[in-house]
Amino acid sequence: MKAKKTIAGAALGAALLNPQPAAAEGAVELSAGQKTATLDTKFGGEIAPKLGFFARHQITTGYEPQAASYFGFADLTYQLPLEGLGVVGELQLQGAKLVPRAGLQYFLGAGDLSGFAAATAGISGGVNGQIVTVLTYQPKLTEEISLVAKLEALNIFADEHQLSSQKFRVGPTINGFSFGSAVDFTEIGQGQQLQLGCNLGGYFSKTF
């Protein structure tokens, strides 16, 4: 099923470190659970005033001998007059196929809480939609230590539900290094063909 290939990286495809950072920034995360392990890299920055870019690459593998799955994409974003709202154009790499997408994204921050949402649709090969939401709570404990609790959720649909996923991360962050508990849930298909998955483990990440 195409949705299974998509989960490695479309899962939360447009979830940015910062929807349009003034300077280049990025992050690397290694997560491992009882079923799979994933290396997730993100990098973004500003090309010109109001114009930004973002790229994300994920490699996922199981623990039995098998080929690793890869998913990657690159975004161009343009900030609209309404604060936090932007237009996004995206190229996803699914296997050997490039899939163009377009849509809107919105970022809102208030104190230690921030939220991000993006809705995109494929512009070739049939109608399909993706909705990504990210909620992050990061209170400071000391000058160098903060707590991070993050939820990333994805829904993929065409004429019917294809895939949903939810990624939870909870742990401390110390000078840009973060580690803690990781739980990933997936729901593929619908009705009697619905497949449920859970990958429970931990993560380690570094922002730069």
Residues 6+ apart with CB under 8 A from 110: none
């230690």: which residue's tokens? Answer: 112
Q: How far apart are CA 7 and CA 13, in angstroms?
A: 9
Question: What secondary structure letter does DSSP report for 68?
Answer: P
Other beta carbons within 10 Å of 184: 23
- Give the per-residue pLDDT at 126: 67
- Give the per-residue pLDDT at 140: 95
Q: Which residues pair with 79 in a beta bridge?
A: 86
- Give the per-residue pLDDT at 21: 52
At 2-56, the pLDDT tens digits run 444 333 333 333 344 444 455 678 999 999 999 999 999 999 999 999 999 999 9
At 94-146, the pLDDT tens digits run 777 888 999 999 999 999 999 999 999 988 766 689 999 999 999 999 999 99
pLDDT of 166 above 70 = yes
**Complete DSSP assignment for 73-85:** EEEEEEE-SSTTE
Residue 152: exposure state from Cβ atoms within 10 A (0-12, 13-18, ≥19): buried
- Phi/psi for 57 (5° steps) reads -135, 135
At 57-107, the pLDDT tens digits run 999 999 887 778 888 999 999 999 999 999 999 998 877 788 899 999 999
**Residue scoring higher pLDDT (161 or 44):** 44
Q: Which residues pair with 168 in a beta bridge?
A: 151, 183
Q: How far apart are CA 19 and CA 85, in angstroms?
A: 9
- Give the per-residue pLDDT at 15: 41
